[in-house]
């Protein structure tokens, strides 16, 4: 029986979805019914961030060992989808990962973007977090940069992604992750996904220590599709011996790898890794394995996690049910070695229906405004 899919014209804003017309089409049995809100799950159904693992996937053991320095850590991505917020400047800062304050001001203005006045990343995890950011402009395109920091009255970043225009209705493959050139938005575990009864209907992003990545002078120098490059210091820090495990590799759990887990959030992540996998987008620089999670004006996934499950997402101890599950998942990961542009997820029959069609973008220009009225701070 064919699934009936309706194609509708819609207008999307941050707070409302207005469906203005539909037509029926019974020719797409592999596409989920309904429509996706691009603010919650962006990019095309055939994007790397939305394509399921296929039945022809060729699995190679990743041989990543359980983290020893920290039980469970996190890669927090800064997502600002409030496109009607006042425009604020993002200024250049070279503080980067030096440990110096990223709140220094006076740098060159990189961009003007909408950011709510109350949003701040001052309460970041201690250290120098990666903080790739994706900020939605009023025209539907994304500002992407890294490492982003929003202080009390200023926003700074260092590396601005300008290679191509990326909007919520594109494939969305690329963006501001410095180690790979991959998206700051795609692959992020969003609010409402890692909750009781929740589901992650897309691929994830994963950050691992460079000692597991192999550096091969094979024309790609330490990376594989869909990554656009590897770290500039890859020849020194990529010390792996697994030819399949390079920057950009798609990691996944085989169906048989879903062993008994102790916690429900781990089962939700494991199911997503089985059905969609996770792309290696950066290196951690220490013995920790991190999944990318949302921090936005809507909320912080770490806070939602604590309120929902009664324990912290971060776990310094390696001997809690949550951290033991995390270690089990990491050690069971495999590389989908035949993940290619024409065989995303390895090809064959997808493990899940393709993501539903996106709501149609509003009829606005794709060009930024010629002039802006910036807000202070």
Q: What is the number of residues in the chain?
A: 377
Tell me the CA distances in angstroms from 290 to 15, 158, 189, 205, one per residue in order: 31, 22, 12, 8
Each domain of the chain, given as residue ranges in start order, spans 59-346
Supply the DSSP symbol for 345: G
* Residue 12: both structure tokens together: 């999307």
The 10s digit of each residue's pLDDT in 337-377 is: 999 999 999 999 999 999 999 987 654 433 333 333 445 45
Query: Cis peptide leading into 147, omega within 30 of 0?
Result: yes
pTM: 0.88
pLDDT in tens, the chain (377 residues): 333 233 333 333 333 332 323 333 333 337 777 899 999 999 999 999 999 999 999 999 999 999 999 999 999 999 999 999 999 999 988 877 777 777 776 778 999 999 999 999 988 887 667 899 999 999 999 999 998 989 877 888 888 888 888 999 999 999 999 999 999 999 999 999 999 999 999 999 999 999 999 998 777 889 999 999 999 889 999 999 999 999 999 999 998 887 789 999 999 999 999 999 999 999 998 999 999 999 999 999 999 999 999 999 999 999 999 999 999 999 999 999 999 999 999 999 999 999 999 987 654 433 333 333 445 45
- For 244-272, the pLDDT digits (tens) are 999 999 999 998 887 789 999 999 999 99
Distance CA 125, CA 112 (A): 26
Tokens, residue 98: 């030096």
């Amino acid at each position: 029986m064919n699934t009936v899919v309706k194609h509708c014209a819609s207008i999307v804003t941050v707070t409302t979805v207005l469906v203005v017309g539909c037509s029926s089409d019974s020719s797409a049995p592999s596409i989920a019914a309904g429509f996706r809100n691009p603010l919650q799950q962006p990019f095309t159904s055939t994007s790397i961030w939305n394509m399921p693992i296929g039945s022809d996937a060729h699995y190679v053991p990743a041989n990543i060992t359980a983290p020893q320095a920290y039980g469970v850590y996190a890669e927090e991505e800064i997502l600002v989808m409030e496109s009607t917020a006042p425009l604020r400047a993002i200024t250049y800062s070279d503080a980067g990962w030096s440990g110096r304050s990223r709140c220094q001001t006076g740098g060159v203005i990189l961009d003007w973007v909408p950011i709510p006045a109350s949003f701040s990343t001052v309460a970041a995890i201690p250290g120098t977090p990666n903080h790739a950011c994706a900020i939605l402009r009023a025209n539907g395109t994304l500002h992407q940069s890294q490492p982003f920091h929003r202080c009390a009255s200023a926003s700074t970043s260092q590396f601005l992604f300008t290679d191509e225009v990326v909007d919520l209705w594109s494939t969305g493959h690329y963006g501001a992750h410095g180690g790979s050139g991959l998206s700051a938005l795609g692959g992020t575990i969003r609010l409402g996904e890692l909750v009781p009864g929740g589901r992650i209907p897309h691929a994830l992003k994963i950050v691992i220590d460079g000692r597991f990545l192999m550096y091969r002078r094979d024309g790609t120098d330490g990376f594989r599709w869909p990554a656009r490059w590897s770290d500039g210091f890859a020849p020194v820090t990529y010390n792996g011996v697994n030819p399949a495990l390079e920057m950009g590799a798609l990691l996944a759990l085989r169906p048989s790898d879903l062993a008994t887990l102790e916690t429900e959030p781990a089962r939700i992540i494991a199911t997503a890794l089985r059905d969609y996998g996770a792309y290696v987008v950066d290196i951690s620089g220490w013995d920790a394995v991190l999944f990318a999670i949302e921090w936005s004006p809507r909320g912080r996934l770490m806070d939602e996690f604590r309120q929902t499950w009664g324990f912290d997402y971060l776990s310094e101890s390696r001997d809690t049910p949550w951290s033991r599950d995390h270690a089990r998942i990491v050690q069971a990961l495999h590389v989908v070695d035949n993940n290619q542009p024409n065989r995303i997820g390895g090809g064959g029959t997808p493990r899940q229906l393709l993501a539903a069609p996106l709501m149609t973008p509003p009829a606005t220009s794709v060009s930024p405004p010629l002039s802006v009225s910036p807000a202070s701070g």
